[in-house]
Structure 1
Amino acid sequence: MQSEIMTIKEVAEYLKINEKTAYRLASEGKIPGFKVGGSWRFRHSDIDDWIDKEAKSAGRGGKI
């Protein structure tokens, strides 16, 4: 069963990006996440919604 909450490592794997890139994007508020005790956490459904939004804006010349 897939967990609804992902760590920085899991979200990086899911997005197929480097962990440092995921951390930077989260710190800059470019991907939806929240901190728990100083560690980033991401709701899987929020990441999926963000992917959908980014895919739509990319068709209009948007950039992450």
Structure 2
Amino acid sequence: MERYPEILTVTQLAEYLQCDKSTIYRLIKSGEIPAFRVGSNWRFRREVIAQWLEQRSRPKKNGS
């Protein structure tokens, strides 16, 4: 992820996550992914996305 700039666009994030831009917009709409607006465009902090990915990739404890 180091080759990407500090602030990512929807297109850059979709490329990095290897998914469609519509998936990114769905995650934004549901509040599942940390994002902010610059005017009418969505942006993502690279460091925050890295943390978000780390949290999502951890196995969930099942209460035992």
Q: Which runs of 5+ in 2 are unaligned?
A: none
SS in 2 for 1:2: coil
TM-score, normalised with respect to structure 1: 0.83
Task: Read off the aligned partner of 2:10 and give its amino acid letter.
Answer: I
Structure of higher CA gyration radius: 2
Q: Which runs of 4+ in 1 moved over 3 A?
A: none
Matching of residue 17 in structure 1 with residue 12 in structure 2 = no
RMSD: 1.4
Could you tell me which amino acid in structure 2 is paired with residue 40 of structure 1? Answer: W
Indicate yes or no: 2:30 matched with 1:28. Answer: yes
TM-score by length of 2: 0.83
How do 1:1-64 residues align onto structure 2 when only pairs under 5 Å count?
Answer: 2-56=4-58, 59-60=59-60
Alpha-carbon offset, residue 24 of structure 1: 1.0
Equivalenced residue count is: 59
Task: Name structure 1 gaps, 5 residues minimum.
Answer: none
